[in-house]
Structure 1
Amino acid sequence: MRVIFLFATIFVAAVLATGHQTHPSMQGMQSLSISYDTPEQFSLLKNYVDDPGFDFVRSTNDLVDVLVTADKIEEFKQLLEEHRMNYTVMIEDVHQLVTEQYIEQQVERRLQARSQDYASGRLSFTYYPNYTEVNEYLTYLTQTYKNIASLITIGNSYEKRSMKVLKLSTGGANKPAIFIDAGIHAREWIAPATALYMVDLMLQNHRDLLTKVDWYVLPVLNPDGYEYTHSSSANRLWRKTRSNTGSTCRGVDGNRNYDMQWMTIGASSDPCSDTYAGPKPFSEVENQHLRDFILTRKGQIKAYLTFHSYGQYILYPWGWTSNVPANEPELVSKLLMNIIASAIMHFVTNNIFTLLSLLFQRNLAIQCAQAIAKSRRTRYTYGTSYNALYPNSGPSDDWAMDKAGIKLSFTYELPGGNYGDLLPASEIKPVGIETFEALKVTHQYVTSKYASH
Structure 2
Amino acid sequence: MKKLAISALILLNTASVMAAPIMRVPNTASSRSVINQLSLDYTSRTPEYIEFVYDERAKQSLIDLGNGNASFFKKTDITNKDADAQFDELRKLNDLGIYHTYQEIVNELTQYSKNYANIANLIEVGTTFEGRTIYGIEIGNKSTKDKVPFLIMGTHHAREWIASEVPMASIKDLLESYTSDDQAKSIVDTSTIVYVPMLNVDGGIYSRTSKAMWRKNRNANNKGGVGVDNNRNYEYKWGVSGASSSPWSDTYKGETPMSENENQAIDKLYQKYKFKSAVSFHSYSELVLWPWGYTSAIQCKDNEIFEKIGTGMSKIMGYRPMQSADLYPAAGDSDDYLYAKYGVLAYTIELGTRFVPSESRVPIINAKGSKALRYFFENARNPFKDVVDTKEYKVLKSLEYTVYALERSELDESTLQDAYEKLAKFSKKEREHGMSTLKMKFRVKKHIESDLKAYSRYKKQNQE
Structure 1 counterpart of 2:146, from 174, 192, 211? 174
* Pair 1:229–1:101, CA change in 2 (3 A): same
**Per-residue deviation, 1:35:** 2.9
Task: Say whether 1:146 aligns with 2:117.
Answer: yes
Structure 1 counterpart of 2:280, from 303, 306, 311? 306
Q: Which has the larger radius of gyration?
A: 2
2:78 counterpart residue number: 89
Task: Say whether 1:446 aligns with 2:380.
Answer: yes
Structure 1 counterpart of 2:208, from 223, 230, 233? 230
Give the Cα separation in 2 of the matches to 1:269 and 1:89.
28
Is the 2:305–2:383 contact (alpha carbons within 8 Å) kept by the matching residues of 1? no
Give the Cα separation in 2 of the matches to 1:261 and 1:321.
9
Task: Say whether 1:318 aligns with 2:292.
Answer: yes
Instruction: Describe the SS at the equivalent of 2:361.
Output: helix
List per-residue Cα deviations over 1:414-435 (Å, max 9, x = no partner).
Answer: 112xxx2132233221111111
Task: Say whether 1:219 aligns with 2:158.
Answer: no
Instruction: Describe the SS at the equivalent of 1:426.
Output: coil
Correspondence list, 1:164-203, <5 A: 164-171=135-142, 172-203=144-175
Instruction: Describe the SS at the equivalent of 1:305.
Output: strand
2:23 is matched by which residue type in structure 1? L
1:384 counterpart residue number: 323
Identity %: 26
Is the 1:187–1:237 contact (alpha carbons within 8 Å) kept by the matching residues of 2? yes
Which 4+ stretches in 1 moved above 6 angstroms?
Answer: 70-77, 79-82, 448-451
Runs (5+) with no aligned partner, structure 1: 1-23, 110-125, 326-353, 374-379
List per-residue Cα deviations over 1:324-353 (Å, max 9, x = no partner).
Answer: 47xxxxxxxxxxxxxxxxxxxxxxxxxxxx
Structure 2 counterpart of 1:368, from 310, 313, 322? 313
Higher relative contact order (CA 8 A, sep 6+): 1
* Pair 1:28–1:133, CA change in 2 (3 A): same
Runs (5+) with no aligned partner, structure 2: 1-14, 386-464
1:133 counterpart residue number: 104
List per-residue Cα deviations over 1:390-447 (Å, max 9, x = no partner).
Answer: 11111111111121221x111111112xxx2132233221111111222121112135
Structure 2 counterpart of 1:283, from 256, 259, 283? 259
1:56 counterpart residue number: 42
Give the Cα separation in 2 of the matches to 1:140 and 1:276.
36
**Per-residue deviation, 1:195:** 1.0
TM-score, normalised on structure 2? Answer: 0.71
Instruction: Describe the SS at the equivalent of 1:237.
Output: coil
Is the 1:295–1:404 contact (alpha carbons within 8 Å) kept by the matching residues of 2? no
**Per-residue deviation, 1:44:** 5.2
**Per-residue deviation, 1:365:** 0.8
1:92 is matched by which residue type in structure 2? K
* Pair 1:95–1:441, CA change in 2 (3 A): closer
The total of aligned residue pairs comes to 361
Give the Cα separation in 1 of the matches to 2:100 and 2:39.
31
Correspondence list, 1:417-428, <5 A: 420-428=354-362
1:35 counterpart residue number: 26
**Per-residue deviation, 1:273:** 0.8
Give the Cα separation in 2 of the matches to 1:214 and 1:130.
26
Give the Cα separation in 2 of the matches to 1:47 and 1:75.
10
* Pair 1:150–1:305, CA change in 2 (3 A): same
* Pair 1:245–1:201, CA change in 2 (3 A): same
2:305 is matched by which residue type in structure 1? F
* Pair 1:36–1:84, CA change in 2 (3 A): farther
Give the Cα separation in 2 of the matches to 1:85 and 1:211.
57
* Pair 1:274–1:186, CA change in 2 (3 A): same
Give the Cα separation in 2 of the matches to 1:318 and 1:212.
30
List per-residue Cα deviations over 1:127-181 (Å, max 9, x = no partner).
Answer: 2111111101111111221211111112211111111220111122221121101
Is the 1:101–1:424 contact (alpha carbons within 8 Å) kept by the matching residues of 2? no
